[in-house]
Structure 1
Amino acid sequence: MTHEFKNITEQAVRAVGSISAVSRRFGLLSVQSVANWIEKNRVPSERVIQLCEMGDWTVSPHQLRPDIYPNEDDALPKSDAA
């Protein structure tokens, strides 16, 4: 069964596992803070790269914050393939 996500922020959070998993992985960040990201569909700029990395790049920085990552490949890890 496929899950319909509320928004791209929820998809990024769910790629990590859950709201509480994201909160734990960020350390002192509250569960409510992460829930607010989903509600507002806006991840703070200083958390975008880490969240994408935690979710194994299922969601890209461009998808989360096109206002600060305007190109599709912005901030993505470089491929090891030469």
Structure 2
Amino acid sequence: MDNQIKQKISSYMSQVSIGECFGISSQAVGKWLRKGKIPHARILPLCRILNWKITPHEIDPNAYPNPTDGLPK
């Protein structure tokens, strides 16, 4: 995940709000963003929370190689 995607995520929702949605601390969310690696099990729920403004492919193109992978039909 590149810096542009990290910035997009942060512009759509705060780390505190993301953490609240997942029942985790904002520090844990910050760790994901600093490392540039969101846990695989959290990618689809995060995209859903962000109303699909960011796609699974943008977050992890290795796990979701096609731009439409993981998107709702």
Q: Given the two structures, how large is their TM-score scaled by the length of structure 2?
A: 0.87
Whole-angstrom distance in 1 between the partners of 2:43 and 2:15: 15
**Cα deviation code 1:55-75 (max 9, x no counterpart):** 010100000011110110001
1:12 Cα offset (Å): 2.3
Matching of residue 50 in structure 1 with residue 27 in structure 2: no
Structure 2 gaps of 5+ residues are: none
1:7 Cα offset (Å): 3.5
Whole-angstrom distance in 1 between the partners of 2:56 and 2:42: 10
Matching of residue 11 in structure 1 with residue 8 in structure 2: yes
- The alignment of Structure 1 onto Structure 2 pairs a total of residues equal to 71
**Cα deviation code 1:2-44 (max 9, x no counterpart):** xxxx4413422432x20000000101x1211100111111111
Q: Which has the larger radius of gyration?
A: 1
- Flag the structure with higher helix content: 2
Matching of residue 22 in structure 1 with residue 18 in structure 2: yes
Structure 1 gaps of 5+ residues are: 1-5
Q: Given the two structures, how large is their TM-score scaled by the length of structure 1?
A: 0.78
CA RMSD of aligned residues (A): 1.3
